[in-house]
Chain A
């Protein structure tokens, strides 16, 4: 029986394992040093905040793996011997494989800051990082202040976590505005305001210079490029992540930033594949980046690779880009591409509406000339994935989108709906005369 070995039990590796099991009877082994069982990394923050316990983040009960004949090994892989098709584990145990899937994920970026290895300095990616944060910042007495470096999703999550225990937080963001390399200005501005509302000391345009130790080798303070010194007991490094592929050096597998793969997620070596955060595409797909450190793409690569492994060679062919996040209390969804001012294409035009008092806004990107829909960002409004995905596929124009906007609303019942206001704003901005159509189940389910 063919033996499939998967390194990493995150969403990519586990999705691959589950789908391989669905499609075949192969022997499957998943190796991870992080945790015994698969858990949702994205929910780590909720454990610290007390919304859930660790076991709640595990999507499957513990008996699931045995029942589905997916063998789990808690171990660290030190070496991949691609020639003899075997792995070396830290305890010198050897594991032979017929096909190998590398799904090791990421590690937090370190940019060589002085003091980055001090006690109290950490990132937030793994279960161990979370356990470390519990030690470093159990409460506001032990951690009198924390400094977070890096204005992205992990940074704001860390800030939210620490604030849930009333720990004062200073948030250093290199950019002029929060996450403005991804978000258009209006949205980024709104999040800036929301961060301040949560009593997070947001410092835009500010870089970390160094971390200063105390006599015990713990972090005592940081200095910034604005010449300031900020006393703190914890430094959260959240300046992005990069593929965790160091253990593969010398294995003959072509590496770039991550493990180089083709569209079939195959590496340069036969029978070795890479998926998820650690995979790097030779050719970028559409507007996507070569390394996609996103939950959903990890899952999709797992789905696609399972097909290939089970005898039906399938390219990783993601559809329209989508993603979502939550910034403190504001939910964010994005479909298609809405670029910020910095990287906007010259044909891309934006329509932006923001609620006068609530933290709600929407940005729709469309082609200046053809008026074709390019993407939608919403904050505080939930959108129906199927509908927006269909509009993008059907290359609908902005006029059509505005007209049928109600079909795409996914907010709970009795919520205030803003489509009328949004379309009125659109009409007054672009001199159009669009009237919104009533929501129609018939249209929504026309593809079902």
Chain B
């Protein structure tokens, strides 16, 4: 069994290695024809840009994406600067230089990778999947009898912030940086997924398709790990299945199929304010121009935020979304599960958390109000502040850096719910409802807590669960995503996730159950 695990790990690392090296290889030659295609698709009016591309790029063979990318980005930046100087605003290209580079790279790739897409898929994704499964499946036997098995988590380098954890950290952060800021380097990855993308939506794969596919794959493989680890716990099994279903069907397949049917790309479970650009002008325009389905999406999006969220949170707590539906939560619960113990439980973190997460909520609401004002009044500024620049700041700081690079990249160091805990504006909104008007709570079972600390250690949201449990109090906290792991790891059966009546949900206790002092006398004496 151990041998199978090791072979699996080796195969996985080979696949991952090839995947990691792909961005650095490949040959690219841009033909005149391809240039014309892109000019037409992107509606580029600048002759200057065309001339510069024809002189420096067309017909030349580039080895590795870096050389091609620098030519394209500088061509774009130089010509834009020139046009700005000449006040030829209609000729300025608003596409980001790196997106432009990615577009040209995609059309000019040639050689082994481009002509062996399916083989390349197998050598990267294929090997990684097979390897990972070989590594994970033997646990059915190795973990022994079913039950909670956290043995060795703090002895293993990978799960105790050792060098493996740091390597994973570097890999994840780099991956997100490429994805968000240097998409041209992802172009070789996109080739491996072209066949699938063509089949689904009829279009070649872009780097976001790579991300979507990878996301779904990683979740599926790590869900297998969850199924094995928590096979004694039906709640975890059901929850994992749910979150996997919503990722694969709602976040990955349906949007692609909608594109194939000439409808807007849309993830029906993505809720404002997590879906922060829902009210952005381009999105509203695109929805309003898509006829009935666009209108439906618009109404659906608003109903989700204003009606579905409060109603569902009232009945089930915010867990119905955060750990049953949400994609960010889904990744955290599968890929992030081995790191859940790293979330800080200090009082200091809690203070930071409350300021930060509510700050982001205020930010997103403010931005959206500005956006809507701009949309209806057709003015680009609100009290002197450019709506566009606030949107860009949010997209960059929160959308890319916080949600992506830090949110996922920092799993191995800060735990798996950094984004959900400190950044997600939707979590903050759901949390308000959960704290004040919800039937959900984590019930503490009388006086049975032994303060061992398993619950707090494994709480991914950094809640000091034990602090409540040892007082015999129910846990009513806005940050709780209802993952149920505190209940699973408790060796005394003290904690349970319940949707009980609202009354009696918050129950401060003076003396715990089991000690028969006269409570009335105590209370009277106090007052």
Contacts and interface: CB of A to CB of B under 8 A. Distances in A.
Nearest to B498: A413
Contacts of B146: 329
Contact of B513 (A52, A389, A412, A414): A389
A147 to B, nearest CB: 22
B346 to A, nearest CB: 6
A312 interface: yes
Contacts of B489: 51
Contacts of B235: 412-415
A307 interface: yes
Contacts of A42: 450-452
B514 A52 contact: no
Contacts of B454: 43, 46, 51-52
Contact of B451 (A59, A303, A328): A59
B162 interface: no
B516 A51 contact: no
A53 B237 CA distance: 28
B500 A445 contact: yes
A346 interface: no
A41 to B, nearest CB: 9
A448 interface: yes
B96 interface: no
Interface in A38-97: 40, 42-43, 46-47, 49-53, 56-59, 61
B406 to A, nearest CB: 24
Nearest to A44: B452
B491 A326 contact: yes
B513 A318 contact: no
B503 interface: yes
Given A51-B454, A299-B515, A386-B446, 17 more contacts: A40-B452, A49-B150, A50-B151, A51-B150, A56-B456, A61-B346, A164-B151, A299-B447, A303-B512, A314-B517, A324-B493, A383-B493, A385-B445, A389-B513, A410-B445, A414-B238, A444-B500
A322 B448 contact: yes
Contacts of B144: 198
A333 interface: yes
Contacts of A324: 448, 450, 492-493
Interface string B130-168: 000000000000001111101111111000000000000
Given A414-B238, A445-B504, A385 B446 contact: yes
A275 interface: no
B514 A414 contact: no
Contacts of B346: 61
- Shortest beta-carbon contacts, A-B, top 7: A385-B446, A329-B147, A382-B493, A43-B452, A448-B504, A414-B234, A319-B516
Interface of B: 144-148, 150-156, 232-235, 237-238, 346-347, 443, 445-448, 450-454, 456-457, 466-467, 470, 484, 487-489, 491-493, 496-497, 500-501, 503-504, 507, 511-517, 525
Given A50-B154, A164-B152, A412 B484 contact: yes
B465 to A, nearest CB: 11
**Which of B148, B452, B484 gathers the greatest number of chain A CB atoms within 10 Å?**
B452
B514 A319 contact: yes
20 contacts: A46-B452, A51-B154, A52-B154, A56-B456, A59-B470, A61-B346, A296-B448, A299-B447, A299-B512, A300-B515, A303-B515, A322-B447, A324-B492, A329-B145, A330-B147, A331-B492, A333-B493, A412-B496, A414-B235, A414-B238
Contact of B150 (A50, A59, A333): A50
A295 interface: yes
Contacts of A326: 491-492
Contact of A197 (B145, B155, B237): B145
Interface string A101-116: 0000000000000000
Given A59-B466, A386-B446, A448-B504, A52 B234 contact: no
A11 interface: yes
A318 B515 contact: yes
Contacts of A410: 443, 445, 493, 496
A353 to B, nearest CB: 18
Interface of A: 11, 40, 42-43, 46-47, 49-53, 56-59, 61, 164, 194, 197-198, 295-296, 299-300, 303-304, 307, 312, 314, 317-320, 322, 324-326, 328-331, 333, 382-386, 389, 410-416, 441, 444-445, 448
Given A50-B154, A57-B453, A59-B467, A441 B500 contact: yes
A91 B296 CA distance: 79
Contacts of A52: 154, 453-454, 457
A416 B234 contact: yes
Nearest to A378: B493
B326 to A, nearest CB: 19
A300 B448 CA distance: 12
Nearest to B496: A410
Nearest to A387: B446
A15 B517 CA distance: 15
A312 B525 CA distance: 10
Contact of A307 (B156, B448, B517): B517
Contacts of B453: 40, 43, 46, 52, 56-59
Given A56-B453, A410-B445, A386 B516 contact: no
Nearest to A38: B451
A84 to B, nearest CB: 33
A46 B453 CA distance: 10
Contacts of B517: 303-304, 307, 314, 317
